[in-house]
Structure 1
């Protein structure tokens, strides 16, 4: 059976339920985990794993079930309930980011700008590239941000360059037909921060800092048809990928990944390897198959994208479209005049950004969300400063001690930990904030959407099927190498936390995580994911 992390001894099992008082620490009475839930936690796959769970009545705070809720556990992306909640409180659900474009210099009668055109990055996560006709941000259940790690994705439908095209059209409408100077991205909103060893994030985005590669089906021995988006001179894709025999191994290589050449001419990514004949793509069970290249120099890339958008709107630029972003040409921060503004892009309401981050667990978006909170809270422009600002907010507004968590970024990367009491305090604290409704709506819904869309195994039990749509919760997954079995993966943390409208009508908040599960691959992760969904459905039924 699974162990109780941090307990002084193995908990006793009597009548199928833990007697938590024997685990050490101060545990409230009558909070034993039900036998049906313990049966899930005691599956052979979890024999060396550690579980923690805390279930609380939303209104009263009464503890319903408590399993080792004082111990620090890996929570992965459940960390996002803190970063998105604080940012939503600080900025407000209706806040919109405005990305302006300014001209420097004068515009001649023939429309030539003798000077530079400057796009000032605002931290808008989508830059109009996920805009649905109704103003919402387009999402899919299998987002391209995780295409390489999960093995596939479904691309959102909107044009990822729509925002840049809109800005370029406004520049042309302002009477500018040519730029006799340069185009610059002002990316000084916050200090760049490194994202998980991949690249330095800046406050400017194109297609979520990704180039999507779409692979189609072909016959054995034939080249795999491919395409990519966005199309740009900043980065192109070539492929030697072929369809192998039915018994061949799926092996898709991307090189270089991430590419370091963005901002230089002839920057190319190569797709190579083999796809087995009759291969059925994971997750979607149908082609296309998606892979992505990381845009490792966002400002260089956005500059080229904007220059190309200007050209499509009839605005020529004398400067080379592919080059390093010339930040040395920027004026002093804050020195722009409204009279110099020639275009602006206004984002969707902030509630949509938070929904985007939480529904699909967008890691870069969560890190930027933390930076946005820091800026709004006290003008912090660094990751360290934003983390410190958040620590202060959690202490004063939610009574959560720094001893209850360890956060290293805004998204839950690496050795991110918290105890169940901290997570529950955040979820309950948010329930009385003005921004609670959009916060609640941002959570994935069990069996319906976001990262919980495919959690449906619980529906095989007719007594649990009613839980579909009644659990709004954030997911979190942390996989690393297993130190006890080099070369093999370890599910260091699979977590789930959020709100349940129980069958009884009661509203509850819950936290659940399992740590250190030996696995062989993604299918084992998905099994743990399904098991936690089943436990959430059991909580719906019991309460």
Structure 2
């Protein structure tokens, strides 16, 4: 049965907001509204017997609390934390902010020869031209390659060239009259102090999400070798493909290991399967970008004496010195509104984790702690306190917690923010796109009625193979009656036997959203 704690929910109405947020006033809260039976039936399924549910639903216009289930208890956010990190970045940086990646020539240029070093400076541009379409917007698929290993068989590659930004910079270097570089090619990734989250380096220099994409295609018969291609094609890595074709019912079983620049892919791929994308996370983004940039320079006709694969030997001058040198090339990103859309639609963890670090850099600081403090300042201006929310990163790893009541109060508050339309457009649409594309059956009346962010955390279990640490959904819903709702629903600590249960939980939360649409 539902595990309830009957408590009074308070919808915050806070004055004294930051310049980018406008406070809103709401009516007094209703105490302990019950969960409707159709929603309770979803929560009461045997699969969730050992889990803990929390839910808050409010009418944005009246402030009335419609549902309050454990509203003041903290729950793991999962990727609903991206609501907090993206809106804080929109508040501080602005929807129109851009990120310019410059190239600095240190030394004299004589007859086209640079007697010195060429330095690529990371600016925090998440895509560096690798997803930019002809209209200047970013290509955002439903299932992105960033989650290819988590969602095998679902991820797709965008058709844009992941090296487009580096090629543009290299052509600009050539156009500036540099035909040869006698010194080093260096990558300056010192915009913030080094951070690794969930095993991923959070770097200000990113090329192809700092991933090697490997596309596997089964052979014509069981036992045949699979074929493999990879991108970007680079001397940084070579591929040793040892994948074979297995029975059509066998499921994908692939492992990627690296040694001395060789990516060895082993395992099996089912017969008659469509090509499957898998990825390898590069451990050193700066070295990765250096190799790729040297290769881009060669394509642009700029010779480089340095070995693209050997560790760089040069020393990067102090930041203040580089700041005083006019760049020979520069690449500017699309507006941050596009990055926000990518982060929220596909739940892009690297991009989300860059956000507090970009806030730190914006404030002249260098650490994740400083950036999270900047983010907390935005949340506190909206009325949230440490009793309501705890943030430890941008993506929503364990340690990030929020109460359902605080989440819906914050969502309601945001409706008066000058960047609200940008934020709303960045979130997945129920039954249409992003992480909510497939949560409702065809013909469900709620399709298109909600903009919301999903959240998922899965860890090792105690008595079962896995523990669904959190499944969450939070956002906005236009109900059938015309009422505008802010809602947040969480389920934590659910023992599960297989990862497929995560997909079912996602569907169940979609069903709850559909019930909200029909009931209110």
Q: What range is the shorter-chain TM-score in?
A: over 0.9
Query: 1-side partners of 2:327 and 2:124: how far apart?
Result: 18
| Residue equivalent to 2:104 | 102
Q: Does 1:389 align with 2:374?
A: yes
Q: Does 1:150 align with 2:151?
A: yes
Deviation at 1:289, TM superposition (A): 0.5
For residues 407 and 315 of structure 1, do their structure 2 counterparts lie closer, same or farther at Cα, with a shift above 3 Å needed? same
Deviations 1:7-62 (A, max 9, x none): 3xxxxxxxxxxxxxxx3556834721111111111112112211111001123322
- Hey, what's the Cα distance between the residues in 2 that align with 1:313 and 1:383? 37
1:39-438 paired onto structure 2 within 5 Å: 39-109=41-111, 111-152=112-153, 153-196=155-198, 198-218=199-219, 219-246=221-248, 248=250, 250-256=252-258, 266-278=260-272, 280=273, 287-326=274-313, 329-336=315-322, 340-376=326-362, 378-395=363-380, 397-438=381-422
Structure 1 segments of 4 or more deviating over 6 A? Answer: none
2:499 aligned with 1:522:
yes
Please, what TM-score do these two structures have when normalized by structure 2?
Answer: 0.93
- Residue 463 of structure 2 aligns to a residue whose secondary structure is coil
Deviations 1:92-135 (A, max 9, x none): 111111111111111112x1111111111100000000111111
**Comparing 526-535 and 331-340, the one that deviates more:** 331-340
Whether the aligned pair in 1 keeps the contact of 2:8 and 2:31 (CA below 8 Å) is no
Q: 1:532 Cα deviation (Å)?
A: 0.5
Q: Are the aligned partners of 1:84 and 1:370 in contact in 2 as well (CA < 8 Å)? A: no
Report the Cα distance in structure 2 between the residues aligned to 1:249 and 1:97, rounded to whole angstroms. 42
Q: Does 2:446 correspond to 1:467?
A: yes
Deviates more, 1:25-34 or 1:220-229: 25-34
Could you tell me whether the CA contact under 8 Å between 1:185 and 1:325 is conserved in 2?
A: no
SS in 2 for 1:69: coil
Q: 2 CA distance for matches of 1:61 and 1:235? A: 56
**Alignment check: 8 A CA contact 1:81 1:426 kept:** no
Residues 396-426 of structure 1 show CA distances to partners (whole Å, capped at 9, x for unaligned) of: x111011212222111012322111221222
How far off its partner does 1:189 sit? Answer: 0.5
Give the secondary structure class of the aligned counterpart of 1:189: coil
**How far apart, in 2, do the equivalents of 1:247 and 1:132 lie?**
38
User: What residue in structure 1 maps to residue 30 of structure 2?
Assistant: 28
CA contact (8 A) 1:502 1:541 kept: yes
Cα offsets for 1:286-324 (capped at 9, x unmatched): x11111100110000000000000000000000111122
Aligned partners of 1:506, 1:533: CA distance in 2, in Å? 19
Cα distance per residue 1:316-346 (max 9 Å; x no partner): 00011112244x5211113236664111001
The equivalent residue for 1:284 is none
| C-alpha contact 1:53 1:66 (8 A) present in aligned 2 | yes
Distance, in Å, in 1 between the alignment partners of 2:224 and 2:513 is: 46
Alignment length (residue pairs): 499
* Deviation by residue 1:166-214 (Cα, 9 ceiling, x = unmatched): 0000101111110011111111111111121x24321101100110100
Corresponding residue SS for 1:105: strand
1:201/1:137 Cα in 2 relative to 1: closer, same or farther (>3 Å)? same
Cα distance in 2 for partners of 1:339, 1:239 equals: 45
Structure 2: any 5+ residue segments left out of the alignment?
Answer: 10-28
**Residues 163 and 222 of structure 1: is their aligned pair in 2 closer, same or farther, counting only changes over 3 Å?**
same
TM-score (normalizing by structure 1): 0.89
Distance 1:53 1:30, change over 3 A: closer
CA contact (8 A) 2:30 2:64 kept: no
Distance (Å, rounded) in 1 between the aligned partners of 2:190 and 2:56: 42
Give the CA RMSD over aligned residues.
1.7
Question: What displacement does 1:82 show?
Answer: 0.5
Between the aligned partners of 1:360 and 1:245, the Cα distance in structure 2 is: 31
Asked if the contact 2:7/2:32 (under 8 Å) is kept, the reply is no
Post-superposition offset of 1:537? 1.3
Q: How much has 1:238 moved relative to structure 2? A: 1.3
